[in-house]
């Protein structure tokens, strides 16, 4: 499989995995010092770490996973966030799908960052 396609597969699998996790374990939050840490922030951190360690195998894995985590929750945040029921609203789900489809033609440019 080409590098760009591996990137996209990891990106989409991350979105599917996190959505499945939220479905199976609703209303479970990661708390750090009393603050809820959303997967958007974890995704941004993973993507930034990957960019710091370019040209390495872990970076090629962490980058699409980080982008997938951040992108999945981006639409949810833009729609006003809230509880898991809103995470499954038609707008949130459709937004995640559209964003995943929009990334597909950009996968070549995104993999060049690494």
Q: CA 97 to CA 52: how far, in whole Å?
A: 28
C-alpha–C-alpha distance, residues 13 and 72, integer Å: 11
How many distinct structural domains can be found in the chain?
1
- Residue 42 located in a structural domain: yes
pLDDT at site 111: 94
In a domain, 28, yes or no: no
Residue 96 counted as domain residue: yes
In a domain, 86, yes or no: yes
Residues in the chain, pLDDT under 50? none
11 in Cβ contact with 103 (< 8 Å): yes
Q: What local confidence, expressed as pLDDT, does residue 14 receive?
A: 98
Structural domain of residue 10, as residue ranges?
3-16+35-112
**Residue 26's pLDDT is what?**
87
* pLDDT for res 29: 85
| φ, ψ dihedrals at 26, nearest 5° | -70, 150
Does residue 53 lie in a domain region? yes
Q: Would residue 21 count as lying in a domain?
A: no
Q: Is residue 99 part of a domain?
A: yes
pLDDT value at residue 30: 86
pTM of this structure? 0.93
Task: Classify residue 67: in a domain, yes or no.
Answer: yes
């Amino acid at each position: 499989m080409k590098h760009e396609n591996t990137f996209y597969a990891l990106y989409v699998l991350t979105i599917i995995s996190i959505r499945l996790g939220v479905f199976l374990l609703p209303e479970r939050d990661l708390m750090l010092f009393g603050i809820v840490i959303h997967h958007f922030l974890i995704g941004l951190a993973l993507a930034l770490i990957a960019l710091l360690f370019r040209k390495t195998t872990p970076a090629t894995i962490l980058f699409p996973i980080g982008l997938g985590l951040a992108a999945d929750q981006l639409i949810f945040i833009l729609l006003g966030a809230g509880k898991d029921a809103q995470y499954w609203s038609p707008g949130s789900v459709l937004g995640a799908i559209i964003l995943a489809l929009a990334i597909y033609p950009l996968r070549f440019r995104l993999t060049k960052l690494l």
